[in-house]
Amino acid sequence: GMDDISFVNVFKPVIQQIMDNFKPAACVMQCGADGISGDRLGCFNLSIKGHGECVDFVKSFGIPMVVLGGGGYTLRNVARCWTYETGVLVGDDLPNEIPDNYYSDYFSPEFKLHIPISNMENLNTRQYLDDTRAFLLDTLKTIHAPSVDKSQSMSDSKPQIVVKSESEKRQEKEDAQPDVREPENCTNTVSLRNVGEHYDGDKDNDAIPDSNESEKVEKEATPTKTEPTATEVKTEADTEMEEGETK
């Protein structure tokens, strides 16, 4: 049931304190209309003029503003509110009579820009509102604006061109991918592999031979002196006998 007087008495001192503390160069203001009386979801009881008074107060600081829409669930009243506040922003006092247009039936039976508020009871006590306002103002006093050097404007600043060496570029790449490391001599066009690593290719080696296997291969490759077989011995003896008989 928040009404115009209660809302404005909290809104204006808080916004004033914000402007004094932070001294903004611009302001983005969102004008949600779900606080307007008769909203299907909102539970405030603000008039369109009371809502627009807050917009006019922020405008009075004379800084650039970006004004946005927001909530609002009774569409005809959302249109009324934002139309009125557009007039406030551009300094145009719009008439209360809505001129005849294609959407006129949406604004029946009043066909007015402003509508009366309901008889909803305002359950926000004066003490509660005063305490809330005091708490917000005390909190804002503890928040300091960030220190920004305004002596140099953005237009005066010149972009800095940084030339990085190949080692610096490689280090940045390694920092971005800590699990991947490239050898110093590795390039994009050369692929280094251990001869024992498995890879797809005609010369596929599944593992590096161990020392025992290497010795075995060497023994097989080295020629050794072999004893003659029984058949070979018999053949030599027969040959000697044959030579004796011949003599």
Contacts of 47 (CB under 8 A, 6+ apart): 4, 36, 37, 114, 115, 117
From CA 176, how far away is CA 174, in angstroms rounded? 5
Q: What is the pLDDT averaged over residues 24-51?
A: 95
Contact assessment for residue 30 and residue 73, using Cβ atoms and an 8 Å cutoff: no
Nearest-angstrom CA–CA distance, 108 and 72: 19
Average pLDDT over residues 112-120: 94
Q: What percent of the chain has pLDDT over 90?
A: 55
What is the pLDDT of the chain when averaged over all its residues? Answer: 79
Whether the Cβ atoms of residue 2 and residue 35 lie closer than 8 Å to each other: yes
Q: Is residue 12 predicted with pLDDT exceeding 90?
A: yes
d(CA 86, CA 55): 10
Q: Which residue has the higher pLDDT, 166 or 242?
A: 166
Between 218 and 142, the more confident residue is: 142
Least confident of 95-109, 134-148, 165-179, 188-202: 188-202
Per-residue confidence band for 191, with pLDDT thresholds at 50, 70 and 90: very low
